[in-house]
């Protein structure tokens, strides 16, 4: 009997960390095996804040690729961007990524006071540039996303023409806010559809499941999963795949981030099939993003077949999610 | 100028893991440097459930000691203990420790269905044996202690003459229940007076601060600290000091437990002084336990002096809390 196949048209990863140097050369080819393109995060050691840095990073990414793949580039938000600068660079970027200061990897250079950003948001709204946001406060780790919701609401109300993407949402509350504003959209990761704080710390402590925002309660995970399985039209897949060397994960101060890029599509197919929602996978991993961002990637078909995929123990020095475990679907 | 001294009369650690073999020989002497005695947990690889195992463990502990120190022994709860057995062993133990099945280290042999334990609780109540409880359900990691509160309430109501100790409480809710039943008492650890989930996972992930029950919210920590600082008469110090080799803490599946025994008294003095409550330390680390358990340890005075104590990076293969950091008080 022939094994079952499904064909995904131009799958997109709308939140991806490719890093730089050796790590970039390791992980970019892996993303290009599974996806037609991805939105590339700008939080490098030297954040992407000028046209020169942007051009250089796009070139570095392109050089690292093996398969056809569109890197949708982003700028790192700064409150001193001028209208003329944004106008000149707008065709080179898909979004500008806002990091409230000090929240996640390399976001020390982010924005502290939300009132300082209003002028740049006005420019972006006028120019039609999407605002992508790591929406967390500096509060208690479980409350950070919820604490940030009033800021999303404030920005969404003040700039009704600005498209705002709430990145890697983790709570039921974020889903509720998402529904209340026409100009709010969101990405959700594979891991936040699957794990809760129990998986990180309910039994032994599992550093490879440590991520920011931290995985939350079962009710939150269940709500996110329901929204993904119905391919909620305002929700896009964004892996937030974040590679760190094994030595930085299994140590005294473990870095946040889960590496999922090369296993995400196989795991999503497994998850969606288990919940009888395979027919929604195309919208969740591609169509919603194309409509929201108004993009049309080069056509690329990824065929998934119903055949066991044993996740490698490691890719180079990076341990992936589900290392050594078996998924139901593989890439043909 | 002479440095300030305080004298603690017979400090007691009412919840201590000494383990076995080499680990016992490493950690028992350290506890005996700081404390006059401790209640020793019975969750060994082969749990302490017979008189023979009890006698052997007491002997092993005694052999490992260097300084005068009273090991208050405990039995591991079983629902098939007979009245005659309990009567015969009661003078050799301070309490019987109940582990709901599958919750913490070596508790696979604990009790699953709470209705099965009623007969033994009746015997204990009649014989005046204290019930010590690891009160967590099998639910979501943050809810486990709260989920267990109805069980405390049920047992406390059904057996008003049974003294029940809620071990290592971590929530404001547990403190509220504590106040509602005359026969409920509690221990609290050093670490739950100091850390929240933020310290484990709010920045980098810190495996050496991973413990069960997991550290909770700031409101919980603050409520516990207030109760300790006023030496709430129903609350006793119990370190839950739990040594694991470094290799088991910094790995893919990190074991739960924080090693505090050799630094607890110094850290408590630092904490109580910072909150202008040094005058309550004696009650919190000794008097409350003596009154609740009706024990009178051999007199032993530990003198603390106001002099920097640099916590060692490790004791053998075990990393202590505050490794390499500086505390304000040391043992003279």
How many separate domains does chain A show? Answer: 1
ipTM of the prediction: 0.92
d(CA B115, CA B147): 16
Instruction: Identify the contact set of chain A against chain B, taking CB-CB distances under 8 A.
Output: 140-142, 196-198, 200-208, 210, 214, 217-218, 250-256
List active site positions of A. 240
Q: List the single range of A165-174, A304-313, B24-33, B138-147 with lowest mean pLDDT.
A: B138-147
B329 found inside a domain: no
State the pLDDT at residue A107.
60
Contact between A62 and A38 under an 8 Å Cβ cutoff? The reply is no
The H-assigned helical ranges of chain A are 21-34, 51-64, 83-89, 118-127, 144-158, 172-180, 190-194, 197-201, 218-229, 246-249, 264-274, 281-282, 288-293
String of DSSP letters for A266-320: HHHHHHHHHTT-GGGHHIIIIIHHHHHHT--PPP-EEEEESS-EE--S-BTTBPB
State the pLDDT at residue A100.
82
Q: Residue A40's CB: how many other CB atoms inside 10 A? A: 25
State the pLDDT at residue A199.
96
Per the prediction, chain B carries an average pLDDT of: 94
For the stretch B248-260, what's the b/e string if a residue is b when 16 or more beta carbons lie within 10 angstroms of its beta carbon?
Answer: bbbbeebbbbbbb
Domain that holds residue B103: 13-299
Band of residue A254 on the pLDDT scale cut at 50, 70, 90: confident
State the pLDDT at residue B113.
72
Is residue A183 pLDDT above 80, yes or no?
A: yes
Distance between A37 CA and the closest CA of chain B, angstroms:
30
What sign does the CA torsion over A210, A215, A217, A223 have?
Answer: negative
Enumerate the residues of chain B whose CB falls inside 8 A of the CB of residue A196.
140
What is the tens place of the pLDDT at every residue in B198-207? 999 999 999 9
For the stretch B303-319, what's the b/e string if a residue is b when 16 or more beta carbons lie within 10 angstroms of its beta carbon?
Answer: ebbbeebebeeebeebb
Q: List the single range of B33-37, B79-83, B251-255, B267-271 with lowest mean pLDDT.
A: B251-255
Check A217 against B255: CB less than 8 A apart.
no
Distance between A256 CA and the closest CA of chain B, angstroms:
7
B148 found inside a domain: yes
What is the tens place of the pLDDT at every residue in B156-181? 999 999 999 999 999 999 999 999 99
Enumerate the residues of chain A whose CB falls inside 8 A of the CB of residue B253.
203-206
Is residue A297 pLDDT above 80, yes or no?
A: yes
Instruction: Identify the contact set of chain B against chain A, taking CB-CB distances under 8 A.
Output: 140-142, 196-198, 200-208, 210, 214, 217-218, 250-256
B175 found inside a domain: yes
Enumerate the residues of chain B whose CB falls inside 8 A of the CB of residue A140.
196-198, 202, 217-218
Residue A7 class from Cβ within 10 Å (0-12 exposed, 13-18 middle, 19+ buried)? exposed
Check B198 against A254: CB less than 8 A apart.
no
d(CA B188, CA B170): 7
State the pLDDT at residue A116.
84
Which residue of chain B is at minimal alpha-carbon distance from A208? B252
What is the tens place of the pLDDT at every residue in A184-193? 999 999 999 9
The mean pLDDT value for B96-120 works out to: 75
SS (H, E, C) B166-226: ECCCCCHHHHHHHHHCCCEEEEECHHHHHCCHHHHHCCCECHHHCCCCCCCCHHHHHHHHH
State the pLDDT at residue A200.
96
Check A141 against B202: CB less than 8 A apart.
yes
B1 found inside a domain: no
State the pLDDT at residue B246.
87
Supply B279's token pair.
């005058």
Q: Which helix (H) or strand (E) holds A97?
A: strand A95-98
The mean pLDDT value for A117-137 works out to: 96
Rg, Å, chain B Cα set: 19
Treating both helix axes as pointing N-terminal to C-terminal, what angle do B172-180 and B144-158 enclose, rounded to 10 degrees? Answer: 10
Is residue B1 pLDDT above 60, yes or no?
A: no
B325 found inside a domain: no
Task: Please tell me what DSSP assigns to residue B287.
Answer: I
B258 found inside a domain: yes
Closest CA to B23 of B215, B255, B195: B255
What is the tens place of the pLDDT at every residue in A25-34? 999 999 999 9
The mean pLDDT value for B127-150 works out to: 94
Which residue of chain B is at minimal alpha-carbon distance from A210? B205
Is residue B14 pLDDT above 70, yes or no?
A: yes
Classified as helix, coil or strand, B254 is strand
Closest CA to B36 of B56, B53, B16, B22: B16
Q: List the single range of A192-196, B34-38, B252-256 with lowest mean pLDDT.
A: B252-256
The mean pLDDT value for B274-301 works out to: 97
* Backbone phi, psi, residue A256, to 5°: -85, 140
State the pLDDT at residue A231.
98
d(CA A159, CA A118): 9
Enumerate the residues of chain A whose CB falls inside 8 A of the CB of residue B202.
140-141
Among B197, B250, B255, select the one facing A250 at the smallest CB separation.
B250
Is residue A151 pLDDT above 70, yes or no?
A: yes
Question: For the domain that residue A169 is a member of, what is the CATH number?
Answer: 3.20.20.140
Mutate to test the interface with A, among B106, B107, B201, B212 (most CBs of A within 10 A): B201
Contact between A275 and A229 under an 8 Å Cβ cutoff? The reply is yes
pTM (whole model) above 0.90: yes
């Amino acid at each position: 009997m022939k094994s079952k196949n499904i064909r995904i048209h131009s799958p997109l990863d709308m939140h991806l960390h490719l890093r730089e140097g050796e790590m970039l050369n390791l992980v970019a080819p892996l993303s290009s095996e599974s996806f037609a393109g991805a939105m590339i995060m700008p939080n490098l050691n030297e954040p992407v804040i000028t046209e020169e840095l942007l051009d250089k990073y796009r070139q570095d990414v392109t050089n690292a690729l093996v398969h056809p793949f569109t890197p949708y580039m982003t700028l790192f938000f700064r409150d001193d961007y001028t209208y003329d600068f944004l106008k000149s660079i707008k065709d080179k970027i898909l979004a500008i990524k806002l990091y409230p200061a000090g929240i996640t990897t390399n976001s020390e250079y982010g924005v502290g006071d939300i009132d300082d950003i209003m002028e740049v948001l006005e420019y972006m709204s006028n120019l039609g540039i999407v605002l992508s946001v790591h929406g967390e406060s500096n509060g208690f780790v479980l409350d950070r996303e919820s604490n940030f919701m009033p800021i999303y609401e404030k920005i969404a109300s003040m700039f009704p023409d600005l498209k705002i993407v709430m990145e890697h949402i983790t709570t039921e509350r974020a889903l509720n806010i998402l529904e209340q504003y026409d100009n709010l959209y969101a990405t959700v990761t594979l891991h936040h559809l699957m794990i809760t704080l129990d998986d990180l710390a309910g039994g032994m402590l599992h550093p490879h499941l440590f991520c920011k925002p931290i995985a939350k309660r079962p009710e939150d995970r269940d709500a996110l999963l329901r929204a993904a399985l119905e391919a909620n039209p305002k929700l896009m897949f964004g892996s937030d795949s974040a590679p760190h060397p094994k030595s930085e994960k299994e140590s005294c101060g473990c870095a946040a981030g889960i590496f999922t890029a090369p296993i995400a599509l196989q795991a999503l197919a497994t998850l969606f099939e288990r919940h009888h929602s395979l027919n929604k996978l195309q919208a969740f991993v591609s169509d919603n993003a194309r409509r929201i961002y108004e993009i049309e990637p080069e056509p690329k078909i990824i065929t998934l077949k119903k055949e066991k995929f044993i996740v490698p123990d490691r890719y180079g020095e990076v341990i992936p999610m589900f290392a050594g475990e078996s998924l139901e679907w593989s890439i043909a």
